[in-house]
Structure 1
């Protein structure tokens, strides 16, 4: 029997509560603070689960500059019709656009950095993934 598992992406930063509040507002989720004030979780509907951990020596990634890799990023899925509004929300909450080379017209993926410097993207939700058997030939 396989043991049931779940996962949570953990982002490091200097101020976990501030970053948790940013993502909770962006994802329409709630902040949950447990016994450890240096570890804060964000939990929301539709399976949203993210955690923020204090790292006293935190330095944000320098991506997209080539000297450092991107490390990891969060992809936030939205309906195509909601992309512009989602972008206004993210920027209004403190996100900074990163990918500005093609700002004209509709785009299916838009890249930002959060207030602590982590990259994340808003991307058009293409719907549930199809298995190989469901894909048209």
Structure 2
């Protein structure tokens, strides 16, 4: 029996004030390529291309607040990336334009903000 997801691709779309700039950040962070760019939209995908991230122009964009604050824009989703060396990965992400969140709730995770203010996590590979 053939899987109904066989041969499918999937992805997510993220709003940003400058989709091209945010696509360039994630392309560099993940060592992926920008596979499509036009005014208001940019798409990043890995070499095998079965997954993608679309960055879309958002008029009136407000970055989410993390940790959550009553009455403020909440984080709707975030990325987790597994890394071998947590401090090195965080330092590299900051050099690419990320910023370290002031609250760090776990020893084996670093919470950062991408250039548009979306939180993402670097998670140490303890396996």
| TM bracket, shorter-chain basis | 0.7 to 0.9
Over 3 Å counting, the alpha-carbon distance change for 1:75 and 1:48 in structure 2 is farther
> Hey, what does 1:42 align to over in structure 2?
44
Over 3 Å counting, the alpha-carbon distance change for 1:101 and 1:23 in structure 2 is closer
Structure 1: gaps (5+ residues): 128-137
- Could you say which structure has the larger radius of gyration? 1
Structure with higher strand content? 2
The residue matched to 2:10 in structure 1 has which SS? coil
Query: TM-score when scaled to structure 1?
Result: 0.75
Q: In the aligned structure 2, how far is the partner of 1:3 from the partner of 1:72?
A: 23
> Hey, what does 2:109 align to over in structure 1?
109
Structure 2: gaps (5+ residues): none
The residue matched to 1:66 in structure 2 has which SS? coil
Equivalenced residue count is: 121
CA-to-partner distance for each residue in 1:55-107, whole Å, 9 max, x for gaps? 1121111221422432110111112xx2221111101011111144569xxx3
